[in-house]
Amino acid sequence: MDTGAQYNNMIVADNLGKSFVSGDGTSTPVFSGLAFTAGSGMTAITGPSGCGKSTLLYCLSGLEPVSQGNVWVLGEAIHEKDQRDLALFRRTHIGFVFQAYNLVPSMSVWDNIQLPLNLAGRKVSSERISELITRFRLNGHDGDAAGSLSGGEQQRVALIRTLVADPDVVFADEPTGALDQRTGQLVFEELKAFAHRPGKCVIIVTHDWRLAKLCDFVYIMQDGNLNGSAPSGVQV
Ligand SMILES: Nc1ncnc2c1ncn2[C@@H]1O[C@H](COP(=O)(O)OP(=O)(O)OP(=O)(O)O)[C@@H](O)[C@H]1O
C-alpha cells in the first residue's frame, strides 16, 4: 500500500441504494444496502460490466439522487441538499470525468479546458493549462477542435478540464478506457500524483485490474455486493 495516502473519510456512504423506475412504474434495483468510505489518495471501484459501478460513482458525486441511504462528501450530507446547494457544492469541491468525455466538439481544446472555469467566473491560469497539456502529452493540439481528436486524446482533454479546476474530490469513470497501455499508465500516474496532494481524493471506476491494484484502496463490486481491500491484501 502506498503510504502517501492518509484515509480520513472524505467520502462516506451508508445503506446506499439505487433503483431506476421505468415508464410503466416498474422499479429496478441496481444495488442496495452498500457501505463505502474513501479518504485522501486514490481509490478504485472495479467489477464486471453492468454491475453498477458508474451508477455508484454518480450517486457518490451527487449527479444521481440516491433511492436509499446517506452520502457525505467532505462532511456535507449531499443527500439532504436541494438542487441549488448541491450544484454549488459540486462546482466548488467536485470534479467529474465522464466516460463519454462530454466535450464541446466544435470548440478548441484550450476553450474546452477553460469553459467550466469561465462559466463559474473563476480565474483561469494559462500556465497551469499549458503545464497540464504538456504533462498529458497533448502539445500542439491547443487550437484543434475537440471533435477532431482521437478518443484517447479527447479523454485526456476531459481529464485536464477537470484537474485545472483543482477540485478536492475527483470522480473519474474509466479514465483510461480509451487509451493504450502506455498512455493509460501515464494518465493513471498523473491522477495518482494529484490524489496524493494534500487534501485530495480521487475515485476511479476501472475495468483494468492491473491499474486498480496500484491504487491505495480497491472496491470490488459484484452481485450486489461491494467489498473493499487495500491491495496489500488486508480485507476491511
Ligand atoms: N439512467 C438509467 N436508467 C435505467 N437504468 C439504468 C440507468 N443507468 C444505468 N442503468 C442500469 O443500471 C445497471 C448498472 O449500470 P452501470 O452503468 O452503473 O454499470 P457499470 O458497472 O458501470 O457497467 P460498465 O462497466 O459496462 O460501464 C445496468 O443494468 C444499467 O442498464
Q: Ligand 1 mean position to 152 CA, how many Å?
A: 23
6 assigned to some structural domain: no
Q: What is the pLDDT of residues 100-145, one digit of tens each?
A: 889 999 999 999 999 989 988 888 899 999 999 999 999 999 999 9
Which residue's CA is the closest to the ligand 1 atom numbered 2?
Answer: 20
Per the listing, cell 491494484 goes with 213
Q: What are the residue ranges of helices labelled H in the chain?
A: 53-61, 83-93, 109-119, 126-135, 151-163, 181-195, 209-212
Rounded distance, CA 102 to CA 106, Å?
12
Which residue's CA is the closest to the ligand 1 atom numbered 5?
Answer: 20
68 assigned to some structural domain: yes
3 assigned to some structural domain: no
Which of 18, 22, 54, 209 to probe ligand 1 with, by most ligand atoms within 8 A of CB? 54
234 assigned to some structural domain: no
Mapping DSSP to helix (H, G, I), strand (E, B) and coil, where does residue 110 land? helix
Q: Ligand 1 mean position to 227 CA, how many Å?
A: 19
Domain count, the chain: 1
Range of the domain at 74: 11-20+27-229
Reading the block at residue 229, the C-alpha cell is 481491500
2 assigned to some structural domain: no
Which of 26, 53, 60 to probe ligand 1 with, by most ligand atoms within 8 A of CB? 53
- Is a pLDDT exceeding 80 seen at residue 204? yes
Q: What is the ipTM of this complex?
A: 0.96
Q: Ligand 1 mean position to 54 CA, how many Å?
A: 7
Measured CA distances, 109 to 28, 88, 162, 223 (Å) = 39, 25, 13, 40
φ and ψ of 100, to 5 deg: -100, 15
Reading the block at residue 43, the C-alpha cell is 481509490
Which residue's CA is the closest to the ligand 1 atom numbered 26?
Answer: 49
Q: Ligand 1 mean position to 115 CA, how many Å?
A: 28
- Is a pLDDT exceeding 70 seen at residue 4? no
1 assigned to some structural domain: no
Q: What is the CATH number of the domain that holds 193?
A: 3.40.50.300
Asked if 18 contacts 61 with a C-beta cutoff of 8 angstroms, the reply is no
- Is a pLDDT exceeding 70 seen at residue 211? yes
- Is a pLDDT exceeding 90 seen at residue 20? yes
Closest CA to 93 of 67, 114, 115, 75: 75
Q: Are strands 225-229 and 94-97 parallel, antiparallel or unpaired?
A: unpaired
Segment 140-157 shows an average pLDDT of: 95
75 assigned to some structural domain: yes
Which residue's CA is the closest to the ligand 1 atom numbered 18?
Answer: 52
Rounded distance, CA 59 to CA 109, Å?
29
Segment 3-24 shows an average pLDDT of: 81
Write the DSSP string, 204-224: EE-S-HHHHTTSSEEEEEETT
170 assigned to some structural domain: yes
φ and ψ of 90, to 5 deg: -65, -40
Asked if 71 contacts 16 with a C-beta cutoff of 8 angstroms, the reply is yes
Rounded distance, CA 65 to CA 41, Å?
25
pLDDT at 130: 96
Q: Ligand 1 mean position to 205 CA, how many Å?
A: 13
